[in-house]
Amino acid sequence: MNIIIPLFLGFITALVGVFPPGLINMTVAKISTEDGKTRAMLFTAGALFVVFFQTLVALVFAGYISEHQEVVILLREIGFGVFSCLTIYFLLIAKKPKKKAKNDLKIKSKKSRFFFGMFISAINFLPIPYYVFASISLASFGYFTFNTVSIYSFVVGVVLGSFAVFYSYIAFFKKIESKTDYIVKNMNTIIGLVTGTIAITALYHILKYYLKL
C-alpha cells in the first residue's frame, strides 16, 4: 500500500495537471503529425526525463516545508492571495484567447527530439510549484507521507501519468483537436475555476489552523 497509493495519486495528479493543452502537449502533437510517432516518442522521453527530476525536487522541497507548519501556513496565505487575484483576473478581466493557427507553433530543432524534449520541459517551471502544492495538500488530508518510498512512488506515478497524456496527444490528436480548440477558447474560465478552487481550499486550511489556536 505504501507503493500503490502514492503511485496512483501521482498518476492522477499528473493527469489533472498535464492534460490541458500546453506547450509540451501541443509540441509533441505537432511533432507526431509532421515527423511521425517515433520522433514524437523520443521527444516524450526527453520531456519525461526532466519531469522525473522536477517532481523529485518538488517533493523533497514539499517534505521540508511540511515539517515546518509556520512555513506551510505562510505559503497558504500567500497562495490564497495570489490565487484569489488570478481567479478575479481570469474570470472577470482577461480577454478570451484567440484560436491559434495551425502553423503558429514553430519547431526549429530537427536533430535530436530527445534533447529538444528535455529543453522544452526544462523551461516549463510550473510543474514544480504544482507538485509542491499537490503533495502538501494530499499530505494534509492524510493521503500521502513524505518518506523515501512514497516520494519515489509518487514521482513514478507522475511520470506514468504524464506519459499517458503525451501518448494520447500523439495517438489521438486528430480526433481530439476540436476539443482542444474548445478548451483553448474557454481556457480563462477553466483556469479561473481551478485557481478559485485552490484559493477556497487554501482559505479553508488557513481558517482551520487559526481556529485551533
CA 49 vs. chain centroid, Å, equals 15
Of 24 and 205, the structure prediction assigns the larger pLDDT to: 24
CA 47 vs. chain centroid, Å, equals 13
Q: What confidence score (pLDDT) does residue 149 get?
A: 93
Mean pLDDT over the full length of the chain: 80
pLDDT digits (tens, 9 = 90+) for 143-184: 888 999 999 999 999 999 999 999 988 887 766 555 656 665
Lowest model confidence (mean pLDDT) among 1-10, 33-42, 95-104, 122-131: 95-104
Q: What confidence score (pLDDT) does residue 27 get?
A: 85
Q: What confidence score (pLDDT) does residue 109 get?
A: 47
> Quick check: 161 and 10 in contact, CB under 8 A?
yes
The overall pTM is greater than 0.75:
no
Q: What confidence score (pLDDT) does residue 5 get?
A: 92
CA distance 39 to 18: 20
How far from 80 is each of 77, 96, 205, CA to CA, in Å? 5, 24, 10
pLDDT of 97 higher than 80:
no
pLDDT of 111 higher than 80:
no
| Nine cell digits for residue 49 | 526525463
Q: What confidence score (pLDDT) does residue 70 get?
A: 75
Q: What confidence score (pLDDT) does residue 24 get?
A: 86
Lowest model confidence (mean pLDDT) among 119-128, 134-143, 188-197: 188-197
